[in-house]
Structure 1
Amino acid sequence: MKKFIVLVIVLGCVCFSSMTLAVNVNTATAEEISKELKGVGPAKAGAIVLYRKQHGPFKDLKELTKVKGIGAATVDKNRENIQLDVE
């Protein structure tokens, strides 16, 4: 029984540690974007924020590919973790 409880705790920790939170690219800071999106480091996250400041909020995911360094593959692998809500 002890082994079962330990196994449940370990699996729970692994599941929660690998979860990525959704990030709103229309309101998030570059630091928040780079932390939550796979394949997006500080430079690319900064480019997302700069594009947003120059062009206004993103209207759809495809628009993210207009940001230098952000391609369709990056958008596809993060699709479930990107929010576009305008507050």
Structure 2
Amino acid sequence: MIRKLLLSLVAWVAFMGVAFAQVDVNKADAAALDSVKGIGPAKSKAIMEERAKGEFKDWPDLERRVKGIGEKNAMRLSEAGLQVNGKSRDGAPRKESGKK
């Protein structure tokens, strides 16, 4: 019984680590971009095509170059784990990782 409980706890912690993983728009492949809530295959393709022209400098650059990513959407994507050059969007709420 204790083994099952411990195994469940370990699996839950591992899952939570994946759920809150950060994805950098300049380094991620299409599959990693698709894993961000709010980005599907069409949006990840648009991001990859724009990134091929040059890396995104910051969040405003991403918002300007990728159709459909405006300020509100950028806030949601940042909250879901998307980053530009390792940074979340200014003003975006941060999800708790469950660690204290």
Q: When the two structures are superposed, what TM-score results if normalisation uses the length of structure 2?
A: 0.61
Question: Tell me, which stretches of 5 or more residues in structure 1 are unaligned?
Answer: none
Cα 1:7/1:76, change in 2 over 3 Å: farther
Query: What corresponds to 1:43 in structure 2?
Result: 42
Structure 1-normalised TM-score? 0.68
Listed as ranges, the gaps of 5+ residues in structure 2 are 87-100
Q: Does 1:84 align with 2:85?
A: yes
Quick check: 2:58–2:84 contact (8 Å CA) kept in 1?
Answer: no
Runs of 4+ in structure 1 off by over 6 angstroms are 6-9
Instruction: Return the structure number with greater helix share.
Output: 1
Deviations 1:5-35 (A, max 9, x none): x888767755653523111111211111111
Q: CA RMSD in A?
A: 2.4
Specify the SS of the correspondent of 1:58: coil
Aligned residues: 81
How much identity, in percent, do the aligned residues show? 34
Deviation at 1:59, TM superposition (A): 1.0
